Amino acid sequence: MKYKLINSVNANYSTIQTILTNRHIPLEEVEHYLNTTDTDINKPEALGEDCLIAAAQCLISHISANHNALVIVDCDCDGFTSAALLINYLYDLVPNWVETNLKWWVHEGKQHGLNDCMDYINSHDFDLILIPDAGSNDYEAHATLKALGKDIIILDHHLADKISDDAIVINNQLSGYPNKDLSGVGVVYQFCRYIDEKMKTNFADYYLDLVALGLTGDMMSLTSIETKHLIMKGFEPKNIHNPYIYEMWQKNKFKLGEHITSIDAAFYIVPMINAVQRSGELEEKELLFKSMLKYEAFQMILSNKRGHKPNEMERLVDQAIRMSTNVKNRQTREQDKTMEELESSMINLDLLEHKVILFTLGDKELNKNIAGLIANKIANKYQRPCCILSKTIDKENKKTLYQGSARGYEATGVTNFKTICEAAGAEWCQG
């Protein structure tokens, strides 16, 4: 078996020291890394106190005036946990306002940010738009909404060219916040901690399980001491409060044991959420999100399980867990069938003769929502970059476009397909 050492063996290092230093943890930080404490959580003010003050004042003024607000729920695990944390936290602060004035909106597909929900926003009387885990670079939409008299608060971690002139943006990538490996749910958590400070309340820490799951789902680097501590603390058994996370843990305890780890969550909880995001119907996505809201999750609803009795009721969270398991199984079947078809094409077209495996398919030949999963599987199995594109027509500009998913393969030196496409002059590229 061929292998290559990351670094030369140092006989003076323990096994743990060798593993961690190979992963860029300095030797002098190893003991600290293994024994993190709450002092490793940065102060919320590191996100920029001016924007925190502006966001808190804006939010509280709209609540005080009994205005209507909308939360945009981003379409991945981090997006769901970010929005759920924010709404649950606000329910602790102002339950009546949340039940009567706060709405939430789930993307039908894999879109992000504001662009696909502008019609919905404009057709409803919202005074405040809250966007966790997205929206930093939707500058045109910000300007449009501001012109209509609507305020926007963004709690995000994605890179953007600048801070919007037309929205209040709290973003660890656009501030002096020292941890750039904090995902959207971490930014929401810090915003809620800031409100706790000002309101003399203590609600934010109740949702550390959502923080841990969102950080895990967004694959944030565990070399960050803060991120590592938040995940470890959030998955402590005493901190598992969220209905969906708790019930998933109980249902899978024979796999997860008495203590969830980040690896456990990555294998047994996150894939269920991602499957619903990629392959679920809108109603299924909404059911899953409701199961993360503590004031919705335990409602009794009509059962839809096989063999149920007429008018039999069950808890919403139980139905959501069964549904997400079923959708994951459905996605796996579709994924396996698609892999089989593409692998057959690879043989027929001699695609393994090339350094990059490239598929160009018709618009209906592949479910775009699982293109990334398939590209990942092929890249890993055949140890080379993979790009899966579907042909579409831009009717407005009368152009033929190819859109889809691409995955690099580290051993070949190709880790970021998007950069390569843009360097080659591609006008449109999606990861």
* CATH number of the domain residue 76 falls in: 3.90.1640.30
User: What is the Cα–Cα distance from 361 to 357, expressed in whole angstroms?
Assistant: 13
Within its chain, how far is the Cα of 350 from the centroid? 37
Question: Beta strands of 101-143 (E only): which ranges?
Answer: 102-106, 128-132
Within-domain flag for 183? yes
What tokens were used for 68? 């209507």
Q: Which helix (H) or strand (E) holds 203?
A: none
What tokens were used for 24? 């860029």
pLDDT of 404: 82
**Would you give per-residue pLDDT tens digits along the chain (431 residues)?**
677 777 888 889 999 999 999 988 999 999 999 999 999 999 999 999 999 999 999 999 999 999 999 999 999 999 999 999 999 999 999 999 999 999 999 998 777 889 888 999 999 999 999 999 999 999 999 999 999 999 999 999 999 999 999 999 999 999 999 999 999 999 999 999 999 999 999 999 999 999 999 999 999 999 999 999 999 999 999 999 999 999 999 999 999 999 999 999 999 999 999 999 989 999 999 999 999 999 999 999 999 998 889 999 999 999 999 999 999 999 999 989 999 999 998 989 899 899 889 998 876 667 777 888 899 899 999 999 998 988 877 777 777 788 888 888 877 777 777 677 667 666 544 43
Q: Are 75 and 111 in contact (CB under 8 A)?
A: yes
Residue showing tokens 């690879």: 346
Is residue 332 located within the same domain as residue 354?
no
pLDDT of 1: 60
User: What is the Cα–Cα distance from 293 to 88, expressed in whole angstroms?
Assistant: 6
Question: Beta strands of 221-334 (E only): which ranges?
Answer: 300-302, 313-315
Question: Beta strands of 192-312 (E only): which ranges?
Answer: 300-302
Within-domain flag for 61? yes
Q: Which helix (H) or strand (E) holds 69?
A: strand 69-73
User: What is the Cα–Cα distance from 248 to 260, expressed in whole angstroms?
Assistant: 11
Between the two ends of the chain, the Cα-to-Cα distance in Å is: 33
What is the amino acid identity at position 197? E
User: What is the Cα–Cα distance from 389 to 368, expressed in whole angstroms?
Assistant: 9
User: What is the Cα–Cα distance from 19 to 95, expressed in whole angstroms?
Assistant: 47
Is residue 88 located within the same domain as residue 206?
yes
pLDDT of 431: 39
Strand partners, 390: 361, 403
Is residue 204 located within the same domain as residue 132?
yes
Within-domain flag for 397? yes
Number of domains in the chain: 3
Query: 179, 212, 234 — which closes off a domain?
Result: 234
Is residue 161 located within the same domain as residue 189?
yes
Within-domain flag for 5? no
Is residue 131 located within the same domain as residue 228?
yes
Is residue 156 located within the same domain as residue 301?
no
Query: 348, 372, 407 — which closes off a domain?
Result: 348
Q: Are 70 and 119 in contact (CB under 8 A)?
A: no
Question: How many Cβ atoms are within 10 Å of 198's Cβ, its own excluded?
Answer: 12
What tokens were used for 262? 């980040």
Query: 314, 348, 382 — which closes off a domain?
Result: 348
- Across the beta sheet with 399-407, the strand order is 357-361, 386-394, 399-407
Is residue 169 located within the same domain as residue 115?
yes
User: What is the Cα–Cα distance from 7 to 283, expressed in whole angstroms?
Assistant: 50
**Residue 143 belongs to what domain range?**
44-234
Is residue 274 located within the same domain as residue 243?
yes
What tokens were used for 412? 């070949």
Helix (H), strand (E) counts: the chain: 18, 10
Q: Are 62 and 127 in contact (CB under 8 A)?
A: yes
